[in-house]
Amino acid sequence: MEFFSIASGSSGNCICVGSDETHVMIDAGISGKRIEAGMNAYDLTTKDMQGVLITHEHSDHISGLGVIARKYGIPIYATEGTIQGILSTKSVGKIDPSLFHPIVPDEAFQIGDLEIHPIHISHDAADPVAYVVKNNEHKIGVLTDLGIYDDYIIDKMSGLDAMLLEANHDVNMLQVGSYPYPLKMRILGEYGHLSNELSGQLLGKLLHDDMKHVLLGHLSKENNLPELAYETVRLEVTMGENPYKGNDFPIEVAPRSEVSRLIKVS
């Protein structure tokens, strides 16, 4: 299996996950042109995608969805609440209703040789999910846009070979920054986003001997720095109640607006 990030941040998100036979896109929150350029970086095209998995209806996850849906007719998988949110977002434009395939958290479904597991998350959207994509014995998780984690998340994300994990903000940068107070409280709340510290603490609970790669994503442009996210997550792993240290595993930060390197697990 393999995956890469085309964009990951508060300004737009798009991830590609696949096997030798099947590829899917997770979120389409950037322009169709940027999505295509990102796919081309690894000899893929947007029309090669056999499905688009949408996590939730916020604009940084769906802004390019209408364009690629109208151009390529790719099936769209999302919860019913997310589908209704997409249909009510005028900026996305019209999408053929037949392209939508409603999914239910905790009910796996198949796309080609990929087994998709949607997982409920805590975020201020209609019915948001994260995804675990499985092929044979390998699993890749994409987990962003959650305010809190619990035993359910830990259980559903266990045994991953690789993952993209949210490290959205540094708490101090957010608290002293220019955001209005209500927005700060929203981000810090249980329906907001994971801080660097919480990301590292969660990672410490998910690590195991066979974890091959961790990509930190969805960093805030205003309230985080790649180096700060990286070092904080590593420190939390090292200081946490787990048998690992932060440099025992490959950890890197997904670029906000550039294509990440191709990460393969086998």
Task: Give per-residue pLDDT as tens, 185-234.
Answer: 999 999 999 999 999 999 999 999 999 999 999 999 999 999 999 999 99
Which value, to the nearest 10 degrees, does the dihedral of the CA atoms of residues 222, 226, 228, 233 take? 120
Domain assignments of the chain as residue spans, ordered by start: 2-264
Does the domain at residues 2-264 carry the CATH identifier 3.90.79.10?
Answer: no
Q: What is the pLDDT along the chain (266 residues), one digit of tens a residue?
A: 999 999 999 889 999 999 999 999 999 999 999 999 999 999 999 999 999 999 999 999 999 999 999 999 999 999 999 999 999 999 999 999 999 999 999 999 999 999 999 999 999 999 999 999 999 989 999 999 999 999 999 999 999 999 999 999 999 999 999 999 999 999 999 999 999 999 999 999 999 999 999 999 999 999 999 999 999 999 999 999 999 999 999 999 999 989 999 999 98
- Could you tell me the pTM of the whole model? 0.96
Indicate the average pLDDT of the chain.
97
| pLDDT value of position 10 | 86
| pLDDT value of position 166 | 98
